[in-house]
A and B are shown apart, each in its own frame.
Chain A
Amino acid sequence: MMALDVMAKAATPIPLDVSFRVNPGELLALVGHSGSGKTTLLRTIAGLWRPDVARVRVNGTTWLDTDARVNLAPHRRRVGLVFQNYALFPHMTAMQNVMAAMDQPDRHEAARILDLVNMHGLAGRRPAQLSGGQQQRVAVARALARQPQALLLDEPFSAVDRETRTKLYSEIIALRAHLKMPVVLVTHDVNEAQLLADRMVVIEKGQVVHSGTTAQVMADAGALRALGIRDVAAMLPATIREQLADGLTELDAATGPLYLPMIDGPPGMRVQVRIMAHDVILSRARPEGLSAQNILAGHVAQIVPGAGPGVMVHVMVGPHEILARISRRAADQMALQPGDPVHAILKTMSVARDHIAPAQVTQQTAPRA
């Protein structure tokens, strides 16, 4: 097993007390606000920072163990790190950047890795001649060229525009079929974590608030407080059926069709749609004469009261769970009880483009919390 085990405790610069494990081929998202300590954890794994007490083990090899006084220098750890601003070597071409991370610089192998991240044809350009998205791809290629036993991504999508980001999400998802090592993604963007990660570790003020699959995290009240209630959403798998002439895409979801703004992809492609809890309306009867196009039949799984005037209603749509955040008042008026049939209503235009991504190749079906 090539798992990555991390434990870190520190008093400064921020109080830190975290431990987690990432399995081979798994993508774990460390999610939290800036200053929560997530980047510090990544730097601990890479060897760029040493907490007071820490242990980092990869694939049975100890990289850092403060008790045993083991602390490998960063260049002795087989780690691929994609920096937030990419940190490419400005005096080298894309090809040279990738070769710089190889033990035995090999032009053909470097070209193959650049192909993997869709950078063919731009290998001779210097970072200054590349767009943000292209620089990110080179940074990923360089990290992979190191043949890392752990791949670390530090907010790798924060420096590109929204459209590029959507494209890069798809590319990372496709790339994951080739990755056998544990992958750690640091992000403050819950959307990103939900689209890309198998599991999430929510960190607040240097402590793990919650960890588990997306669905598990979204069902945890403490995690929701740390993430921000407005960021709560569920992932609904769907399959593209048809591109419509009016600019919408028709998809097949568990219990009916979904109409969403144009999604790039051929019919039959499986995608995940991130549905924000505060965008979902619930109705007992199937509504008619409504502008909202998407009406999914399901039943109430559970109702979780919040601290404020809202409740979180977990609705099973076929085998999948979506979340609806409605007011306690509405839930009382509807007299909602677990097991009740309901219709979840979603405006077509409420689903943002970057909230839809191709389904993971290694996608785990999230167990219910």
Chain B
Amino acid sequence: MDWTALFLSLRLACWTVIILLPVSVLMGRFLAYHDFRGKGLVEALVMLPLVLPPTVFGFYLLVAFGRNSPLGDLWQNLFGHQLVFTFQGLVVASVIFNLPFAIQPAQRGFEAIAPEVREAAACCGMSPLRSLWNVELPLAWPGVLTAMVLTFAHTLGEFGIVLMVGGSIPGETKTIAIAIYDRVQGFDDRGAAVMSAVLVAISLFTISVTYWLSSRIGRRLS
């Protein structure tokens, strides 16, 4: 059992969730409430990582982050090291790759709030921020929670993009999914089986907890 890889994966998943939580709420809310020209294109862009092969996506990220790219140079100047093949690089890739999981369920959550309820909040004297906190989040949170759990579980299981952007540096970019792949390559079927089972257990647990929570909330509101 490669504990270092497991903890690296958990750390990556946690950072991804922390960064994507505000993005999920703000973007999901914005897309739910506003109609504008090009909204379809924005939504399509958000969903793109879902349909692109991780290799294609990873390739573009490599190009964008790599040496001699504006973003790569900027990072190099700011932090003194490269973005690719580092944990930070993995986090950035993971954040972008998880946008559809983070935004879509939250958007559906906010869309489910009746427009009159939001208007009622305003007519009750609530500023947009208070309305978000007192009315919208309490109603949309199952969507936001689903978004975060999906992001978390999906990050744990991500393979292709990690391999493309991060490589397989132990303790830096070697996640549990990569470790399993390594074990299989090295004919360590037992190690691969244990780690796979652990990954299945963690993912199943987080997703079941979400479903249980949202069904409880659903019952309370209906």
Quick one: closest A residue to B131, CB to CB?
Answer: A75
| Interface size classification for chain A | 20 to 34
A90 within 8 A of B: yes
Shortest Cβ gap from B215 to chain A (Å): 16
Closest 5 CB pairs of A and B: A87-B116, A74-B122, A101-B124, A87-B120, A81-B123
Contact indicator B116/A142 (Cβ below 8 Å) = no
B121 within 8 A of A: yes
Contacts A100-B134, A101-B125, A146-B125; A83 near B120 (Cβ below 8 A) = yes
Contacts A83-B116, A87-B117, A89-B135; A46 near B125 (Cβ below 8 A) = no
Contact indicator A146/B123 (Cβ below 8 Å) = yes
Contact indicator B139/A90 (Cβ below 8 Å) = yes
Shortest Cβ gap from A154 to chain B (Å): 9
Segment 57-100 of B: residues with Cβ below 8 Å from A: none
User: Bound complex: CA of A36 vs CA of B127, how far in Å?
Assistant: 31
Contact indicator B125/A89 (Cβ below 8 Å) = no
Contacts A87-B114, A89-B117, A100-B134; A80 near B139 (Cβ below 8 A) = no
> Could you jot down 29 A-B contacts, CB within 8 Å?
A48-B119, A48-B123, A74-B119, A74-B122, A78-B125, A80-B123, A83-B116, A84-B116, A87-B116, A87-B117, A87-B119, A89-B121, A89-B135, A89-B139, A90-B139, A90-B221, A91-B220, A91-B221, A100-B124, A100-B126, A100-B135, A101-B124, A103-B125, A126-B221, A128-B221, A142-B124, A143-B123, A146-B123, A146-B125
Task: Give chain A residues whose Cβ lies under 8 Å from the Cβ of B134.
Answer: 100
User: Bound complex: CA of A186 vs CA of B221, how far in Å?
Assistant: 30
Segment 120-169 of A: residues with Cβ below 8 Å from B: 126, 128, 142-143, 146
Contact indicator A91/B138 (Cβ below 8 Å) = yes
User: Bound complex: CA of A80 vs CA of B122, how far in Å?
Assistant: 10
Quick one: closest A residue to B217, CB to CB?
Answer: A91
Segment 94-147 of B: residues with Cβ below 8 Å from A: 114, 116-117, 119-128, 131, 134-135, 138-139
User: Bound complex: CA of A90 vs CA of B221, how far in Å?
Assistant: 6
User: Bound complex: CA of A89 vs CA of B222, how far in Å?
Assistant: 12
Contacts between the two chains (Cβ within 8 Å), count: 68
Which of B116, B126, B139 is close to A75, meaning CB atoms less than 8 Å apart? Answer: B126
Task: Give chain A residues whose Cβ lies under 8 Å from the Cβ of B131.
Answer: 75
**Max chain A CB contacts within 10 Å: which of B114, B117, B123?**
B123
Contact indicator B127/A75 (Cβ below 8 Å) = yes
Task: Give chain B residues whose Cβ lies under 8 Å from the Cβ of A85.
Answer: 114, 116
Shortest Cβ gap from A181 to chain B (Å): 14
Shortest Cβ gap from B122 to chain A (Å): 4
**Max chain A CB contacts within 10 Å: which of B125, B126, B134?**
B125
Segment 153-193 of B: residues with Cβ below 8 Å from A: none
Quick one: closest B residue to A77, CB to CB?
Answer: B123
Segment 35-78 of A: residues with Cβ below 8 Å from B: 46-48, 73-75, 77-78
**Residues in chain A within 8 A of chain B (CB atoms):** 46-48, 73-75, 77-81, 83-85, 87-91, 100-101, 103, 126, 128, 142-143, 146
Which of B121, B123, B127, B135 is close to A46, meaning CB atoms less than 8 Å apart? Answer: B123
User: Bound complex: CA of A357 vs CA of B124, how far in Å?
Assistant: 30
Quick one: closest B residue to A98, CB to CB?
Answer: B124
Task: Give chain A residues whose Cβ lies under 8 Å from the Cβ of B220.
Answer: 91
Shortest Cβ gap from A156 to chain B (Å): 13
Contact indicator A91/B139 (Cβ below 8 Å) = yes
Shortest Cβ gap from A326 to chain B (Å): 45
Task: Give chain B residues whose Cβ lies under 8 Å from the Cβ of A75.
Answer: 121-128, 131
User: Bound complex: CA of A89 vs CA of B127, how far in Å?
Assistant: 16
User: Bound complex: CA of A246 vs CA of B136, how far in Å?
Assistant: 55
Quick one: closest A residue to B222, CB to CB?
Answer: A128
Shortest Cβ gap from B132 to chain A (Å): 12
**Max chain B CB contacts within 10 Å: which of A78, A83, A89?**
A89
Quick one: closest A residue to B126, CB to CB?
Answer: A75
Contacts A87-B116, A91-B138; A74 near B123 (Cβ below 8 A) = yes
Contacts A91-B138, A128-B222; A73 near B122 (Cβ below 8 A) = yes
Shortest Cβ gap from A152 to chain B (Å): 9
Quick one: closest B residue to A152, CB to CB?
Answer: B123
Which of A79, A84, A128 is close to B123, meaning CB atoms less than 8 Å apart? Answer: A79
Shortest Cβ gap from A169 to chain B (Å): 23
Task: Give chain B residues whose Cβ lies under 8 Å from the Cβ of A79.
Answer: 123
Task: Give chain B residues whose Cβ lies under 8 Å from the Cβ of A74.
Answer: 119, 122-123
Task: Give chain B residues whose Cβ lies under 8 Å from the Cβ of A88.
Answer: 117, 120
Shortest Cβ gap from B210 to chain A (Å): 19
Task: Give chain A residues whose Cβ lies under 8 Å from the Cβ of B135.
Answer: 89, 100
Quick one: closest A residue to B135, CB to CB?
Answer: A89
Interface string of B207-222 (1 = CB under 8 A from A): 0000000000000111
Shortest Cβ gap from B88 to chain A (Å): 39
Task: Give chain A residues whose Cβ lies under 8 Å from the Cβ of B119.
Answer: 46, 48, 74, 81, 83, 87
User: Bound complex: CA of A78 vs CA of B117, how far in Å?
Assistant: 17
Task: Give chain A residues whose Cβ lies under 8 Å from the Cβ of B221.
Answer: 90-91, 126, 128
Shortest Cβ gap from B183 to chain A (Å): 47
